[in-house]
Each structure stands twice: as C-alpha cells, then as structure tokens.
Structure 1
Amino acid sequence: MNTTEFDKGKFWLLPRPDSALIISSVVLLALFGIGYTGLAVTMIFFYPLDLPKLIFQTITLYTYLEKGFPTAIIYTYSVLLLCNWLVACYRSQRYGADPALVIARLYYTFDLFFAVFAPLVVLIFFIESFKFDREAFQTKTETIGAGTFDTVARLFGDPSQISSFCSAFHYLQFSSGSTLFYKSALNLLSLYKWKKIITTLIHNRHERQLERKRRVLVGPVPNTLSRSASIKVAITKQITASKLKFKAEKHFWAKLLLSLIFLCAGIGNFVYSVGAIVSTSDLCGKYEKCAVASYQWNFGQKFCTCLVFADRHTAPKTYAEWTNPEDTTANLAELAQSGELRIVQIINRAVPELPGELRKCAYLEQLILAYTKTESIPEWLSEFAHLEYMHIEGDYTSRRLATIPDGVFDNMPHLSFLHLGNIPNVETLPSLSSLESLRYLTLAVIDSLEEIPSFDGLSRLSDLTIINAPRATTLPSMAPLESLTKMVLRPKSAVCCNGFISGTCNMTMAQCLPVASEKYSPTCTDARIPEEDKAVLATFGTLICANTVAVDREATAPSKHTTDEICGGILYKQCALNGVQGICFNTRMMVINCETSSGYIAMRKLQIQRNVGDPCDPDVEAWLGCSAIGT
C-alpha cells in the first residue's frame, strides 16, 4: 500500500497477535507451502469432506457481506461459490465412472481458488483501489515538526477504504487460536483431497499403460465359444448389469436428497447475497454520512446497518463555520440505532454530547472526534471493550471537553491509539494501566492537568508525545515503557523548567517565560527524575524540552480577523500577522487561518516544486513559486 514511511510504519494500526500465535502461524504456513509444492511436483474425491469446505467458503461470503466489502468482490465471490455448490450437486448424484477425474479436478480447482487465490485477489483489489496522495503527504513529514497530528497520515485517509482494508487483512490473519485451528484444518483438508486426486490420476495412467502393453503382447483372443455358450455369457452380463443398476437405485433417493441440499444451499446463498446488497443499498443510500454499510437482509427494516459513520469537513472557510458548525448529533444517533457501527469519525461538526443510541454499538472500534464542541464524555464509553483507536481533539472556543470520567479506559484491552489534544480544562485523567495494547499516546495542550497518569501496564507503548503540560510538576516512572522508540516532550511543560529533569530550576529560558493567557505557571520543585529515567530521555535528544518560545495558544487561535478578514477562505494565500509572514492554511484540519509557522510555507513550496498535492493557482500562489507555465 506504500504507507511504510507514514506514522512510523503504523498507518494501519493492525492488531498484533501474541508471539506464540505468530510463531505457530509461520510454522504451519511454511508446512502448508511445502505441502502444496509437493503436490505440484507429484500432481477420488471424498464426499464426507465436501460439506465442511463448502460451509467454510459460505462463511467467508457472509463475512464479506457483514464487513461491507465492495460489491464487485462480493458479486464475484458469490457467483463462483454458486458454481461450486452446483458442481457439488452434480457430483453427488452422478453414477458414471470418471477415470480422468475431470469433474473432481474442476471441483477442487474451485477449492484451490477459494483457499489460496481469493484472499490474494481481495488484497490486490484493495491495493489497487486505495487512494492516498502519498507524495503530497510526504512533503508534510519533511517540513512540519513532530508532535502535531498534521503528520498523522491515517487521519487524512479515506475512512471507508481504511476500514475495508483493515477488515480484509484482519480476516486473513491468524488473529486467534480458533481461527488458527479451523483455517489450518481446512488447508490440511485441501492438501489431502488434492493428494488423492493426483495419486489416483498417476495410478490410472499407469494402469492404462499396462493394459495397452498386455493387449500388444497377448493379441486378439479368438472366439471359440459355441452359439449356446455365447448366449449364456450375454445373459450373465445382463443379469450382472441389472444387479448393478438395482444397487445404484438403492442409493438414488439418498443421492437425490443430497444433491437437492447442495442445489438449494447454492441458490439460497446467492439469492441472499443479492438481496442483502439490494436491500441494504436502498435502506442506507439515503444516508450520505454512512461511508460503509453491512450488507444484511434488510427488506422491511427501519434502521440502516451502517458500519462507518464519517462526517468530515476538513477545511472550513469561514469563522462562523468554525465556531458554530453544523450539529450532526441526530445523524449519528439515527445511524447508531442498528448497533452495527464500527467507526465514528467526525471532524468540524458539532456533537455537544454523544447520543445514547451510540451505546448500542458494543463492537465500536474507532472513535474520532475532532473539533466537535463535545463538552463531556459519558461513563458508558467504558463499555466499548473492542475500541482500538480513540482520538479526541478540542479547539480554542469555549465549548470544549471539561472532564473525562474515572475508569473510562479500564475495559479497553484492544486500544492501541489514544490521542487527547486541546483539552486545557481537564484537570485529571483516568488510569491508563489497563491499556495493555496501547502503542501510540499523545497528551497535548493539557494546561490544567495536575498529574501525568502512570505508565504502568503500557509495556507495548512505542510512541509517546506530551505537549504543553505547565501544571504537571513531574513525570511518572519510565520503567514500564519497555517498547518506547519515540518520545516528544514540547513546551510549555513544567518538567522542562522546574528542575525535575535538568536538576536546576530555570524559569528564564525561552520556553519557560510567562504566557499571557496561561492559567497555571510552572513552579520550581525539589523532585528529581531518577537517573535511569533521565538516561531514557537522553536517547531522544532534541525532541525532549527543545528550548523554543512557548506559544500563547489562546492568542494565536483562529479569530475572525485571521480567518475571514485576512484569508477570506482562500488556501495558500500570502498573509502577515503582527509583522510576520504567513500562509493561509487549514492547519490540523482547522478553519483556513493565517498560519505564521514557517514549516507550512516550506511544505507548500515543496509541493509546487514536485507538482504534487492541490494544483497551484498562479494568481494566488505566485509568491510560493507557482507559475502559469507547467503548473
């Protein structure tokens, strides 16, 4: 998918199975590979083993429907599966000999497709259809400093495509002991059946060769029987044939019943697939915020079986859109009624309070609320035991998060990404000790936070960012962070000024100077960081407490002057603020605002030089190097 360079290789944030499961999977897959290779080198049928295989293939189809896979994949898979059921129906009532095993080979070729090639086809489809401007985003990573979610690539991807790919890939993984067991069993079953076919074909070929040699050596046998003896031989053959026919007729009804079962199952599955797609498309088609729907038999149903709710407005043009966005609470509530939601992504739309209907979505996996004017988090959020990704981003208006309930993270064992940004009114955070799968943690603009929560239990955390924590006087022990590979600690954070890290309290550094709008100013402390923790921080160099001027975030927040009056909703326009050159840009998906950080100017210049990203407008961007020729 060419996303390795983004988010430190964690663009997809796919679940990580246990080490024992990974090792077992590798060993078994290697054995299966050797087995299939052996069959290819050596190149009849077994009825009792047909039904489990067909059931597994049907379960796969229903999984594709439930996960809302693209209809092209579902229709292709359902047609091929129908053919497989029909071939099984034909084989189950067939009496004639098939020494070349033509039907068996055709039948098990379908098996080989479903077992080996279908997953590859699905992956190739998603790889080819995935749309992400990698070149343009690369310019962000090269020019904008770490610690801002402008460089979190996953947020800028299409949520429907990310959801579908993750579902497909996760389904192919040996994600649990049960999936390892039944997928291994079915691979062994496939190996067994193909071995029987190949060995039987080889045996039949040898028999035919021997028969031809015997005929050549013996020659034609003269007919020495009398007329009466010939009549007796003919009668004997007729009696034998009658006995064989009677024996076949004894199993006629059983075979007919079995073939009818295969026929009805194949047609039934195909009809269900088509009906599920048609009914779900009709029911959910009127909801433009439903990016992906679960295809179910929705004839006569009232509520859309939506999987992905996405309401994104990534570049508001006016100050009014920013401060008073459209309220999408009712839309979210309606699409949550079915209880099927897996992803909720809302950006620059108002959700003052999460609707109670969302509580029905027990299998919610991702919750992204950016600039949603959300003022409180309900306690029942702790019931989302399957949550994997949580991003809450406040803004610089008066409508922002005030508290996060205690214990809200106590039952989220799968949470791997947690970003809490721009929550300056929150004074305490709940314990993080139960987040055993957490790999990415950002705490940004936490002006009122009294204490950074303990890192106990976060042994898998690899990426930690703390920005603007002026009230928290110490850091928790770093010892539990066994997997930490990146850490950012940026101003204005008290631990960088009060002597906790350096050993000397120094409030005269640029990053420690007073800021007009700050509620809490850093104060000196006698507490000191343990030497082993200090050694850990030292490995991250300038990412820890870089002595840059602390930003007055309230003063530099978007205002009517910096948005409507200066930029007028025009991206990349040249602007100036307090004598400093800037660029009109929707930083961190906020309103188009005059941004004076030099990184964004460098980013756009680089995009124009490489001819990537939005096409440049010479009337607006001539100052960035855009010309009418070759743009």
Structure 2
Amino acid sequence: MSVGFSPLPNASSRKIQRMNTQSVIVSAFWLIIDTDPVMIKIGAVGLVVVNACYLHSRQDSVRGVDIIPWEQAEILGKTDVFAVKELMTVLLELLEIGNPEALVYGYTALISLGSLAGAAKILIGKFSAMGEVIAGCVFDLFAAIIFPVLVLVYCYYNFQFDDAVFATYLEILPVGSFERSAAVFADPSEVALFRSAFDSLRIKSALDFILRVGINLSFCYRLKRIGDVLVVAHLRRAQAVRAKRIRRPRKQKPVPRVFAVFFIAFSVVVWMVTNQAITDSHAHCSHYAQCVVYAYRWKHDGVCPCRILIDVDRAPKTYDEWINPVDVYSTVQALALSGELRSLQLINRQLLELPSELQSCRHLSSLELIYTGIQKIPSWAKEFKYLQILHLEGKVGSQNLLSLPEDLFSDMPWLSTVHIGIHPELSRLPPLSGVPNLRSVTLAWLLELRTLPSFNHVSQLQSLVLGLLPHLEQLPDMAPLQSLQNFTISRPIQLCCNGFRGTCDLTDNYCVKNPSSSIPAALCFNDTPFLGHAGTQQAFERFNASICQKLSSDLLVVPGGPTKQTIEVCDSKPFARCERPDGGIGICYNTRMQVLSCYGDENYIKLRRYQIQKDIGQKCDPALEGWLGCRD
C-alpha cells in the first residue's frame, strides 16, 4: 500500500489532510519536494509490478495440490526468515528517523504477533495447507497493509488545521499579506510530526524500494498460495464425489521445530530493542522540550540525537518578551552536536549567528529563522546540500543581514522554498545557479534590493511573491518560469511605475518620494520595457490581478516595528480597542507573529469583526471585544 504514496507525495498528503488547500500551493504548504525523477519512475514500476501480482493472484488458474510438500514448505520457511529480516530493517529505519512512539510501538507489536503466529504454526504442526499459508501471511499482512493504514490514520487525527479561520484571512486580508500563507498559519510541530510519519511511507532510496516492494511481493506470493489451495481443495472434493470415494491426503512433512525458537526469540528481541532504544533516547533528549523529533538509539555518547528542533513563540504579549527574547544559541549548539539535525525552526528567539556545530549537520533540510535577529550567514552554509527550506525573517530594530554568501545557492539541488524578509540593508541576492527544484520564492521588506538574480536555472518555480521592495527597478527574463502558478507584486516597488512595464509615471504613489519611509523618488527606467523579454510581459499580463494593484496611501508606507508605547497600551489583551500614538483607533493584534501591539490597519479590525460575526476562530470576550460586535 505504501508504494502508492511514493510517486506523488503532495497529491497523496492532500487527500489525507483535513484542510482545503485548493487555494494555496500544496507543495508550499507541506514543503515536500518530489523524489529524484529516476526513483519516481522506479517506484512507479514497482507499483505496477505489485498491482500485477495482486491481480494475478486473484485470477490464477488451477495449480498445485491441497497440501504443501516439503520442498514448498521449505520455500515458505525461507520466505518467513526473509520477511523477518525485512521487517527488522524497516523497524530500525523507523527508530532512526524518530517516527512517533505510538507508531513505532504499534509496528513492533504487529511484527511480534506475526512472529509468534509463525512459531505457533511450527509447534502445533497440524495445520492444513490453508492454515499453514494463512499463518504465514500474518507477517506480510501487517507490514504491507495494516501498518500503512495506521500511519495514515495517525496523520489524519494528529494534524489539525482550522480551515474556516484561514479562509477568513484569504477573504479579508489583501494579496501579499503575511497571514495568507498557510504554511505560516499551521502549527509547526504538527507539520513536522506529520511529515516524519508520512515520509516513512515514501520511496526515497534504493533501500526503501527494496523494502516496500519486497514486502508487498512477499504478501502477494502468499495470497497466490491461498488461491492455489482453495481451488485445488475444491476440485479434489468434486473429484471425490464423482468417484464415490475420498482419497486420503498424503502426509505433509512438518517444518523442523527449531525454526519456532527463532521466531519466539525474535518476538522478544524486537520488543527489547525498541523499548531500550526509545528509553535511552528519551533520557538524553527529555531535557530539551524544543527537540520534537529525535532518533531512537541505544548508544548516544551523552548527546541527544535530535532531528527536528522547534522553539517558537507565535504570539508574544509583552515588551520585554519582544525586546529580550530567549537566547537559544547554547540550545542549538547542544542539539547540533550529534550532527543529526534535519530541521531548525526558531520564531521570536534570539540567535545572532549560527553555531559552528551546525556545520556537521550535513543533512539539514529546513532552516527557518524568524525574528531571531540573525546578522550573518556563514560561508559554510553552502554545504547544506540537502536543504529544502530556507526562511530568513529579520526583526525590525535589529541589525539583521547585510549580505549573503555569493555561492550560497551554488549546490543545493533539493532547495524548494526561499523566504527572505525584513533585511533593510540587504542589497544583493546570490545567483540561483544550483537550485533546480526551487518552487517558491518570497522576498519582502528588502529596502536596498534593486534587481533579482537570473531565473534561467529555476524552471520549476511555482510561486514568486515580491513585496515592499521600493528600489526594485527591473526583473530578469521570466520566460524560463513555465511552471509559475502565483506571481504577486505588492506595496511600494518602483518597477510598477518607472517605465519597466511600458509607461513611466513618477507621480504614481509607488514612485513618489516617501520621506516618512526614507524612500527617495524613483527615476524613469531607461531601457526597453520588460527589457525586451516577451516572457516577462506575458507573465505580467497573465497575473495582472495580483500585480501592482492600487493601494491606499497608508499601505504604501514602510511600516514601523512595534514600540514600547504601542505594545504596553495593549496590556497583553488581544483584540482590545487601543489608541495609536497619532490619535487614531487601532486593534491589539499579533500581526505576522510579532508582539501584541496596537495597529491601525482597518483590515485587521475588519477581519476580527468578520470572525466574530461568523463565530469562527477564538471565542470572543464581550468585555474586550464589544466594540467589534461581540455579545454575551
């Protein structure tokens, strides 16, 4: 069954998730990229072979006898031993990737029961042909059918996403708003656990292919044997009735009982291995609540084998929490020592630089630093060749990034998502020369960025979101972006009115001088519109509804960060009515996962009013939200 989820993981995950992501890019939500194309084709071939085998087992013609001769019993015995080896390999893989404990113990219980069933079959020694084959099916039935079903059930019931609330964001907030990203809205720990469990069903390597297809073919072989026995038994009974006699069946030579010892020992050992590995790892990692997924091992050398580190505060409420976040340098340093870290996500924590220990985590696939005050990305970051997600969100009032390594993206073949925002002094992005699987790029609040790197090597790009890039004068040729599904340009960006699109209009509010935001007046673009690239012009025409839309003047101002005054006026009370420093009325809101602060943006007021009216999301408090229409 797991073979069927391997070729198209994003489509499969959408079918089992309890949310409607038709309005967003699913791969951008789950951050899953497809396996290597060669492995996809191999997995598809394996799926065809397995399906053909199952079909053949149902349509098989009469063959064999109603007992299993010694030669065939020996074959089945060897098949049982092979199945044990396969299942043990799968178990060790589940332990290593840190699958949820419930699934690991469930898998252990299933294969242990299967092993005991095999031992009982041998010890009793009086099984009919049917009983012997059915007993042998237990191993493969659990691994091929039951366990994948349990994984899907676990994923379904342990991932929660409030569809209704997210729908209000899409309906009320303008295009380009931070909250319109489903990946940001979802609980990061739940997404991490979902992916960890779901990935255990995918074929991503040669070993995965051998295990998944091998177990299914073994189960298919046993189903065929059941069909053989049923058909032959039926025909023999019919022949006996016609001949008025019943021939006595030949005596079947039993399987040596020494095999039973092996199966009993295996059922005990598998529990010991699993329990000891989980217990030892828990002892080393329990001190770090931030480590949400870790490998289960017997030996650790005193180090927690952490695989996923998530330390987030999605809604800080006080000025002190905002200005003095928890410093997590030592935590990241300790959990990176094992070299096993696959994902690092920090939100509203302080991490000014990456610890050198992180360099040993060569299989790091996700690096998300949001409001950490990160000031430098080291040159060795280019060695993260398995990186899939890079999210670097600066913090208003901090130094943030001044530059990125020039060769950062030179060899990251699996990178699928890049989000870089709130780095006002960052003026240049590295070439996108080694990221062929890049699917999503979001750039925001980069006040000095004037141009983007070439798109020649990112033909798989599906989403390009640009916002608050006031000095961006032009875009490179967009003809290579044949897979583009979402293209958004919002907030002040010079290319909207400097003549890049055809007509220079320096009186447009996207191009006028904006002293309050330290944005000088734009200059007319002196080159050919769209640089003469027909592909770029076609992209602008295709996505016209989400490009350079006219906005109210207040949305064209580069927003300032929360201040002590705007934070303390809220007194840690979400959705309360507040007074802005300029005398205007605002709402206390945690916009973009920043600290609770007073915002005068009418969109947030309208959003909360709409949610109260529809009885969606957090239950309203009449004492605080009466002004928004909340009633007892």
> Structure 2-normalised TM-score?
0.87
Task: Measure how far apart 1:414 and its partner are.
Answer: 0.8
- SS of 2:358 mapped into structure 1: helix
Name the aligned partner's letter for residue 88 of structure 1: G
8 Å CA contact 2:123–2:260 kept in 1: the answer is no
**1:492 aligned to 2:510?**
no
8 Å CA contact 1:470–1:492 kept in 2: the answer is yes
Task: Measure how far apart 1:460 and its partner are.
Answer: 0.7
Give CA deviations for 1:45-83 in whole Å, capped at 9, x if unaligned: 522222332222222222222222222222121011112
Task: Measure how far apart 1:464 and its partner are.
Answer: 0.2
Partner of 2:379: 379
Task: Measure how far apart 1:417 and its partner are.
Answer: 1.0
8 Å CA contact 1:14–1:170 kept in 2: the answer is no
Q: Distance in 2 between matches of 1:179 and 1:612?
A: 43
8 Å CA contact 1:446–1:469 kept in 2: the answer is yes
Name the aligned partner's letter for residue 563 of structure 2: S
Task: Measure how far apart 1:94 and its partner are.
Answer: 5.2
1:71–1:195 CA distance, 2 compared to 1 (3 A): same
Partner of 2:93: 63
1:304–1:17 CA distance, 2 compared to 1 (3 A): closer
- SS of 1:431 mapped into structure 2: coil
Give CA deviations for 1:513-561 in whole Å, capped at 9, x if unaligned: 2222326553222123125121221111132112323757666321112
Task: Measure how far apart 1:33 and its partner are.
Answer: 3.7
Q: Distance in 1 between matches of 2:135 and 2:176?
A: 57
Partner of 1:268: 269
1:216–1:102 CA distance, 2 compared to 1 (3 A): closer
Q: Distance in 2 between matches of 1:554 and 1:143?
A: 21
Partner of 1:233: none
Task: Name which of structure 1's ranges 571-580 and 590-599 shifts more when overlaid on structure 2.
Answer: 571-580
Task: Measure how far apart 1:345 and its partner are.
Answer: 1.0
Q: Distance in 1 between matches of 2:465 and 2:125?
A: 71
Give CA deviations for 1:477-514 in whole Å, capped at 9, x if unaligned: 1011110111111232121132111x232221122222
Task: Measure how far apart 1:463 and its partner are.
Answer: 0.5
Task: Measure how far apart 1:14 and its partner are.
Answer: 1.9
Q: Distance in 2 between matches of 1:552 and 1:320?
A: 29
Name the aligned partner's letter for residue 455 of structure 1: F
Task: Name which of structure 1's ranges 459-468 and 34-43 shifts more when overlaid on structure 2.
Answer: 34-43
Q: Distance in 1 between matches of 2:245 and 2:160?
A: 67
Choose which of 545, 548, 557 in structure 2 pairs with 1:545: 548
Partner of 2:3: none
Moved over 6 A (4+): none
**1:621 aligned to 2:615?**
no
Partner of 2:165: 136
Partner of 1:109: 138
Choose which of 36, 48, 53 in structure 1 pairs with 2:54: 36
1:552–1:362 CA distance, 2 compared to 1 (3 A): same
1:387–1:441 CA distance, 2 compared to 1 (3 A): same
Task: Measure how far apart 1:261 and its partner are.
Answer: 3.8
**1:160 aligned to 2:189?**
yes
Task: Measure how far apart 1:16 and its partner are.
Answer: 1.6
- SS of 1:511 mapped into structure 2: coil
Q: Distance in 2 between matches of 1:34 and 1:385?
A: 38
**1:99 aligned to 2:128?**
yes
Partner of 1:595: 599
Q: Distance in 2 between matches of 1:217 and 1:583?
A: 89
Task: Measure how far apart 1:391 and its partner are.
Answer: 0.9
8 Å CA contact 1:458–1:481 kept in 2: the answer is yes
Q: Distance in 1 between matches of 2:548 and 2:556?
A: 17
Task: Measure how far apart 1:206 and its partner are.
Answer: 3.1
Matches within 5 A, 1:196-207: 196-207=225-236
Task: Measure how far apart 1:208 and its partner are.
Answer: 4.6
Partner of 1:574: 577
Partner of 1:558: 562
Partner of 2:13: none
Task: Name which of structure 1's ranges 308-317 and 509-518 shifts more when overlaid on structure 2.
Answer: 509-518
Q: Distance in 2 between matches of 1:307 and 1:622?
A: 46
Partner of 2:30: 12
Q: Distance in 1 between matches of 2:205 and 2:332?
A: 32
Q: Distance in 2 between matches of 1:384 and 1:195?
A: 47
Give CA deviations for 1:94-137 in whole Å, capped at 9, x if unaligned: 59453343133022034123112310221111101212222222
8 Å CA contact 1:439–1:462 kept in 2: the answer is yes
Partner of 2:217: 188
- SS of 2:282 mapped into structure 1: helix
Task: Measure how far apart 1:597 and its partner are.
Answer: 1.9
8 Å CA contact 1:436–1:457 kept in 2: the answer is yes
8 Å CA contact 1:491–1:550 kept in 2: the answer is no
1:217–1:618 CA distance, 2 compared to 1 (3 A): closer
Q: Distance in 1 between matches of 2:167 and 2:601?
A: 18
Partner of 2:286: 285
Matches within 5 A, 1:119-268: 119-176=148-205, 179-180=208-209, 182-211=211-240, 214=243, 216=245, 256=258, 258-268=259-269
Greater radius of gyration (CA): 1
Q: Distance in 2 between matches of 1:481 and 1:558?
A: 37
Task: Measure how far apart 1:340 and its partner are.
Answer: 1.8
8 Å CA contact 1:512–1:550 kept in 2: the answer is no
- SS of 1:410 mapped into structure 2: coil
8 Å CA contact 1:100–1:201 kept in 2: the answer is no
**1:77 aligned to 2:117?**
no
Task: Measure how far apart 1:614 and its partner are.
Answer: 1.5
Name the aligned partner's letter for residue 269 of structure 2: G
Name the aligned partner's letter for residue 7 of structure 1: V
Task: Measure how far apart 1:324 and its partner are.
Answer: 2.2
Q: Distance in 2 between matches of 1:343 and 1:216?
A: 71
8 Å CA contact 1:68–1:295 kept in 2: the answer is yes
Partner of 1:224: none
Task: Measure how far apart 1:397 and its partner are.
Answer: 0.7
Task: Measure how far apart 1:162 and its partner are.
Answer: 1.3
1:217–1:88 CA distance, 2 compared to 1 (3 A): closer
Task: Name which of structure 1's ranges 616-625 and 504-513 shifts more when overlaid on structure 2.
Answer: 504-513
Partner of 2:419: 419
Q: Distance in 1 between matches of 2:246 and 2:85?
A: 51
1:402–1:65 CA distance, 2 compared to 1 (3 A): same
Task: Measure how far apart 1:318 and its partner are.
Answer: 2.0
Matches within 5 A, 1:264-413: 264-298=265-299, 301-413=301-413
Identical columns (%): 32
8 Å CA contact 1:445–1:469 kept in 2: the answer is yes
Q: Distance in 1 between matches of 2:150 and 2:488?
A: 41
How many pairs are equivalent?
Answer: 595
Q: Distance in 2 between matches of 1:278 and 1:505?
A: 67
Q: Distance in 2 between matches of 1:540 and 1:50?
A: 59
**1:536 aligned to 2:535?**
no
1:217–1:378 CA distance, 2 compared to 1 (3 A): closer
8 Å CA contact 2:512–2:521 kept in 1: the answer is no
Name the aligned partner's letter for residue 134 of structure 1: D
8 Å CA contact 2:440–2:463 kept in 1: the answer is yes
8 Å CA contact 2:140–2:216 kept in 1: the answer is no
- SS of 2:30 mapped into structure 1: coil
- SS of 1:584 mapped into structure 2: strand
For structure 1, the residue ranges without an aligned partner over 5 or more in a row are 219-240
